[in-house]
Amino acid sequence: MENNKKSADKISKELNWRYMLFDSLTFPTLIINPDKIILDINHNLQKKLSANKNLIGKTCHEYFFNSKTPCESATCPLPKLFADKKGQSKLIKIDTDIEDRWEDRVFIPILNENAEVAFIRVSIRDATQVKALEKELQDVRNLMEKIVQSSASSIVAADIRGNALLMNEAAENLFDYSLEEFQQNHSAKDFYPPGVAKEIMKKLRSKDYGGKGKLTSTKIDIVNSKGEIIPGEIAAAIIYEGNQEVATMGIYTDLRDKIAVEKKLEKAQKQLAQSEKLASIGQLAAGVAHEINNPLTGILFNANLLLEDQKEGSTIYNDLEYIIEDVNRCKRIVKDLLVYSRQANPAKNFVQLNMLVDQSLSLIHDQKLFGNIKIEKKMSEEMMLINVDENHLNQVIINLVMNARDAMNGKGILTLHTYRNKAAQKAYLEVSDTGCGIPEKNLHNIFDPFFTTKEPGKGTGLGLSTVYGIMQENGGNISVKETSPKGTTFLIELPLYSSLQREQES
């Protein structure tokens, strides 16, 4: 045993293990004293230097920075090393003509028996590759970030407690929060009406909605910062690390535009169906009206002849008067039918909407017709030029006014309101009443011919269907803007023309 120790000591001295260890370090290494003087360098550093370069006795700043002046204490790692007696490292960029290189200089204190820093070992590690990888990673990260940020879909990621980690620009716009604002005061459950967040998590954890941890596109209501409910769609996923849930992410789509387009389409389809229905009924009505008109004229003529021979007040005289009255009513219906099914092309002119309204009102100015109904006009002072058949449009306005009157039972306010939207190139007329309103179940039928809720003899049910047809012919539209037991507003829309268009077209 004793012998072994002796021979080990001997070998150790002969081979100078410590020095060999220093030389065998893979990183170029130097030893400096606390005054920053280089005392020794290892084999690998010597190899790095040009053959005749001698560093011993020089300062570390001379070697590292080719400078006689010591580095500023803020940038030099040694003050902290002396204070903490712990290793320090410094990443340095070295500009070369060919490529940028990075060195990680690691300073390790070597303490004496009094625990004071006696020497410092400085290893130089080439960090160029690490840095290049780091940059690559950063570039990929930046690219991912850009993809997420520029996505038109709203993307949100949250930790498992619901704290938002990421919200792209589209999500900030949709939910109307900035990420910071949301992080401070909210959690992911605030994106939905109460209870919905839990429901989504349940679906995510189930296998039935796109596989465990996934939720394929599902319709939901989204709640924004103002508490507004937005119809939307969500596709979501749980992010796992191993088996552990660490985060969730959701991609949201705002369905408002899509729904608006669908509604428009539905409305257009309904209008088309209505026009087709009206067209076919119109043809039929025209035929029937023609056929009935002649015999009616005959009946009326003969009834009047017979009347002349009777004594006024006699039973026959009275019966004949009834016949004549009823025949006249039939003739009015036939006339209405012919108007409704008119086939002639409309004679269009450029007119002011306000002027048309006045003209129509003057045609029915008889106050007896309106009793205690007050007529109010709210006419826009702006120019509202429309290209329509005046007579037809008068008929439209009169029909609407008469319907409004009938709905009010002799008392109330009838308002005619005109306005325009220049950007949309539309002129509008609203006819409102404070009458009984239209029950929901009748709303689908009011534009149908012969639909009436009025007592027999009071209405034929052709008014609104005629109005509908005229509006179509004149490139406009009619709809019920609102109705309730407090009253109804009908809205007429017509293409708006400018004086310039008028000159070009006439």
Ligand X SMILES: Nc1ncnc2c1ncn2[C@@H]1O[C@H](COP(=O)(O)OP(=O)(O)OP(=O)(O)O)[C@@H](O)[C@H]1O
Contacting positions for ligand X (CB under 6 A) = 399, 403-404, 407, 433, 435-438, 442, 446, 451-454, 459-465, 488
d(CA 252, CA 19): 66
162 contact choice in Mg ion, ligand X, none (CB below 5 to 8 Å, kind-dependent): none
d(CA 271, CA 482): 18
Structure-token pair, residue 21: 């260890």
Q: How far apart are CB 454 and Mg ion at their closest, in Å?
A: 8
The answer to whether 222 and 229 have CB atoms below 8 angstroms apart is: yes
389 CB-near residues (< 8 Å, 6+ apart): 346, 347, 348, 349, 470, 473, 474
438 contact choice in ligand X, Mg ion, none (CB below 5 to 8 Å, kind-dependent): ligand X
Instruction: Give the residue at shortest CB distance from Mg ion.
Output: 463
Q: How far apart are CB 399 and Mg ion at their closest, in Å?
A: 5
Contact stretch for Mg ion (CB under 5 A) within 15-23, 176-184, 237-245, 463-471: 463-471
109 contact choice in ligand X, Mg ion, none (CB below 5 to 8 Å, kind-dependent): none
Q: Which is nearer to ligand X, 260 or 443 (CB)?
A: 443
Q: Which is nearer to ligand X, 128 or 452 (CB)?
A: 452
Q: Which is nearer to ligand X, 211 or 439 (CB)?
A: 439
Q: Which is nearer to Mg ion, 298 or 410 (CB)?
A: 410
204 contact choice in Mg ion, ligand X, none (CB below 5 to 8 Å, kind-dependent): none
Q: How far apart are CB 402 and Mg ion at their closest, in Å?
A: 6
Q: Which is nearer to ligand X, 104 or 430 (CB)?
A: 430
291 CB-near residues (< 8 Å, 6+ apart): none
171 contact choice in Mg ion, ligand X, none (CB below 5 to 8 Å, kind-dependent): none
Q: Which is nearer to ligand X, 190 or 336 (CB)?
A: 336
Q: List binders of Mg ion among 350-409 (CB under 5 A).
A: 403
Q: How far apart are CB 435 and ligand X at their closest, in Å?
A: 5
Q: In the 3-class helix/strand/coil scheme, how is 301-358 assigned residue by residue?
A: HHHHHHHHCCCCCCHHHHHHHHHHHHHHHHHHHHHHHHHHCCCCCCCCEEEEHHHHHH
Q: Three-class SS of residue 187?
A: coil
The residue to which tokens 């570390």 are assigned: 60
d(CA 253, CA 334): 55
Q: Considering only residues 463, 469, 476, 487, which one is a binding residue for Mg ion as defined by CB under 5 A?
A: 463
d(CA 455, CA 408): 15
Q: Which is nearer to ligand X, 298 or 439 (CB)?
A: 439
Judging by beta carbons within 10 Å of its beta carbon (0-12, 13-18, 19+), is residue 2 exposed, middle or buried?
A: exposed
Q: How far apart are CB 374 and ligand X at their closest, in Å?
A: 16
Q: How far apart are CB 467 and ligand X at their closest, in Å?
A: 7
Indicate whether 449 belongs to the interface with Mg ion (CB under 5 A): no
Q: Which is nearer to ligand X, 288 or 316 (CB)?
A: 288
Q: How far apart are CB 324 and Mg ion at their closest, in Å?
A: 25
The answer to whether 367 and 405 have CB atoms below 8 angstroms apart is: no
Contact stretch for Mg ion (CB under 5 A) within 43-51, 187-195, 430-438, 460-468: 460-468
Judging by beta carbons within 10 Å of its beta carbon (0-12, 13-18, 19+), is residue 100 exposed, middle or buried?
A: exposed
Instruction: Give the residue at shortest CB distance from ligand X.
Output: 463
The answer to whether 221 and 232 have CB atoms below 8 angstroms apart is: yes
415 contact choice in Mg ion, ligand X, none (CB below 5 to 8 Å, kind-dependent): none
Q: How far apart are CB 296 and ligand X at their closest, in Å?
A: 18
The residue to which tokens 């290892």 are assigned: 42
CA 481-484-487 angle, 5° bins: 80
Q: How far apart are CB 466 and ligand X at their closest, in Å?
A: 8
Structure-token pair, residue 351: 């007119």
Total binding residues for Mg ion by CB under 5 A?
A: 2
| Interacting residue ranges for Mg ion, rule: CB under 5 A | 403, 463
